[in-house]
Amino acid sequence: MSGPIIEAPVSDAVRAAVAKGWELYEASTREHGKADEWDRRVIDQVIHAFVRQGRPFSANDLRPLLPEVRKCLISRRLIQAQLDGLIRYVGVTPSTLRSTKAARVNVYAPVRGALTDRESA
């Protein structure tokens, strides 16, 4: 048995509030750029610093050094760094975030010379 179909029309006040929200968002991104773009740049800078350091690292090492960024972007940027040939997977370690209950976190090692080749080009 299915339930009744309930229509929930959107009021003009709600439409106006949503439109105002989009205006504010667009003004903010024109001025500062999208948050994801800024977050990606910051995360990439930290990954590059670890690559230059030359020792294995994981997201556990990155998180405390980052400002408030979307945490889900950290793993995406690590994947991109692998695809870009900057780092390679070398193992796993337990997560240090209490909320993850020691879930497995990938450990990466820098690819020797990956950044120096790019920086000199």
* Chain segment 55-87, per-residue pLDDT in tens: 999 999 998 888 887 777 889 999 999 999 999
pTM for this predicted structure: 0.67
Taken in order of first residue, the domains within the chain and their CATH numbers are 35-120 (1.10.10.10)
Structure tokens at 1: 């048995």
- The listed range with the strongest mean pLDDT (6-10, 15-19, 49-53) is 49-53
Could you tell me how many residues make up the chain?
A: 121
pLDDT digits (tens, 9 = 90+) for 2-13: 788 778 787 888
Structure tokens at 90: 């070398």
With beta carbons less than 8 A apart as the criterion, state whether 81 and 24 touch: no
Residue 120: its pLDDT value, please?
A: 46
